[in-house]
Amino acid sequence: MIQQLIQKIQKTKAPICVGLDPMLSYIPEHILKKSFQEYGETLEGAADAIWNFNKEIVDHTWDLIPSVKPQIAMYEQFGIEGLKVYERTVRYCQDKGLVVIGDAKRGDIGSTSAAYATAHIGKVQVGSKAYSAFDTDFLTVNPYFGTDGVKPFVDVCKAENKGLFILVKTSNPSSGEFQDKLIDGRPLYELVAEKVVEWGADCMDGEYSNIGAVVGATYPEMSAILRKLMPKTYFLVPGYGAQGGTAKDLQACFNPDGLGAIVNSSRGIIAAYRQEKYAKFGAEHFAEASRQAVIDMVADINSVL
Amino acid sequence: MIQQLIQKIQKTKAPICVGLDPMLSYIPEHILKKSFQEYGETLEGAADAIWNFNKEIVDHTWDLIPSVKPQIAMYEQFGIEGLKVYERTVRYCQDKGLVVIGDAKRGDIGSTSAAYATAHIGKVQVGSKAYSAFDTDFLTVNPYFGTDGVKPFVDVCKAENKGLFILVKTSNPSSGEFQDKLIDGRPLYELVAEKVVEWGADCMDGEYSNIGAVVGATYPEMSAILRKLMPKTYFLVPGYGAQGGTAKDLQACFNPDGLGAIVNSSRGIIAAYRQEKYAKFGAEHFAEASRQAVIDMVADINSVL
């Protein structure tokens, strides 16, 4: 699976993913109005607006990018109707040839993690038939439970040729509260990183493992250490743009081969039209603003590689 | 919210919750057959069987217990159809007067945690209207992101009078891999425990906080330390029964007032009919076996309090 992502990155020359994390407040008035007219101010109405918003952004950016990362929480908050749009967005992006990273940060004891792995990257058996539920290409995973909580995800990756990005060092301000704590002189995130390498060792797909890591753009000195500790691990890098990470901060996440990292931007792309820089597009042409924001982001990142 | 749970525990004299974590393999043949005849071997068929299975267990146990804990992963693996049954199960149990602990172990950066909190214990705004999606009474939360990843859940608890159980020391075999690592001579789970106390300090509801902790039954020496560190924190205790925890192991989780902990059993109750001890009930009367297993579990726990 990681090779599919790498090939798409090489073809588009764009080591990025677009975070499809729609908030109703990002959605232009004309889209909301149309959906609310059809469905009322209901969960169906909200879901319809999100779908129309997502579709237009994907239609305007898919040829420039290798992948998208829908954040399931943004859909889950609208209940069943929201999750239907998550599923529909995943399918639509895959039909456009995009690699889809399901950002769900799941993780639990073994038997429960097995159910989550089935839900998001595997197949569920119903009598003599097998079905895929959300079926993304990659899934983000939380490591707090340790090996037996992560192993079921890794096993499904092997069986189905899928991939993971496991939280190592997250991009948020208080990520250091537990993740940076020193254990025998080394921060917890380094211990997690070593486990990620161990879990990924027999999931190699070419030069890289299908088991990747989440490494925030907001802590570049730590990225440099992690890059050395995990040379064959792909990094999913959140925190660029709206969260404060710059292109310069990203350099340390890449290997000398120019590979090794995929940088996410959510708000910075999908709500670009609300930035002064892209205001000229106007809310009606929000997806064109997103396209321009993708072009600018790719140029910005490539300028430091 | 914690007072509602405590009152129900005192009324039923049962400090337990029933884990509604249905696997298709737990569901008796006659239920599966009926659902598959009506809907085929489809996700709808699986969901219908799970619903009928859950309903019968709840109908046979609700008067004996204060609460249930549906594990959302077990529903998520059947996609949208499974999640509809999760929602329906939550509503059905609440209509029976049960406190519902949504076991979802969510957690992310702040803005994403806010969306998860909205999804599971809060309300989402759609234009001028507000809706609740899954709307459980408590939610389990993963602390790996630190304060800013947990705070949005706490804020929603305050606004909506809901509660949390935050992972501190989990019941699985490899929980020690990261959770037991020593930081300045003290295990990580103690640091997390101190943060849980801090987060819960202004969420008091009577003698206890609405912000609780997950503390596994399988590590009794650690439970004793945590009980002392967190005297006003309610413990949700997994690991009893099928995972190996005994009533003796649970003692340390309770305060001298006989309160402070609620013990979960999933397989041990919902799949009781498959144990030799309850085989006499037969698969047709699986829910009567579950009722007997609840009675036995309550007696077992009360024998050590």
| ipTM of the modeled complex | 0.97
Percent of chain A clearing pLDDT 70 (strictly above): 100
Split at pLDDT 50, 70, 90, the class of A242 is confident
Q: How far apart are CA A88 and CA A227, in angstroms?
A: 35
Q: Can you tell me the mean pLDDT for A215-228?
A: 93
Considering only the beta carbons, identify the residue of B128, B182, B184 that sits closest to A41. B128
Task: Tell me whether residues A174 and B149 touch, CB distance under 8 A.
Answer: yes
Contact B126 A77 (CB under 8 A): no
Q: Is pTM, for the whole model, over 0.90? A: yes
Out of B105, B123, B151, B232, pick the active-site residue. Answer: B105
Q: What is the pLDDT of residues A257-298, one digit of tens each?
A: 899 999 999 999 999 999 999 999 999 999 999 999 999 999
The predicted pLDDT at position B243 comes to 75
State residue A239's pLDDT score. 87
CB contact under 8 A, B148 and A174: yes
Residue ranges of alpha helices (H) inside chain B are 2-12, 29-39, 43-61, 73-76, 79-95, 110-121, 147-160, 176-179, 188-200, 220-229, 247-250, 267-270, 286-302
Pairs across A and B, CB distance < 8 A: 220
Q: Is it the case that residue A223 has pLDDT exceeding 90? A: yes
Q: Which residues pair with A264 in a beta bridge?
A: A17
Report d(CA A94, CA B226) in Å as an integer: 47
In chain B (305 residues long), the average pLDDT of successive 10-residue segments reads: 98 98 97 98 98 98 98 98 98 98 97 98 98 98 97 98 97 94 96 98 97 93 95 95 84 94 97 97 98 97 93
pLDDT at B31: 98
pLDDT in tens, A109-141: 999 999 999 999 999 999 999 999 999 999 999
Q: Helix, strand, or coil here: B40?
A: coil
Q: What are phi and psi of A50, to 5 degrees?
A: -60, -45
For the cut 90, the answer to whether the pLDDT of residue A65 exceeds it is yes
pLDDT of residue A169: 96
Contact A145 B174 (CB under 8 A): yes
Is A105 assigned a catalytic role? yes
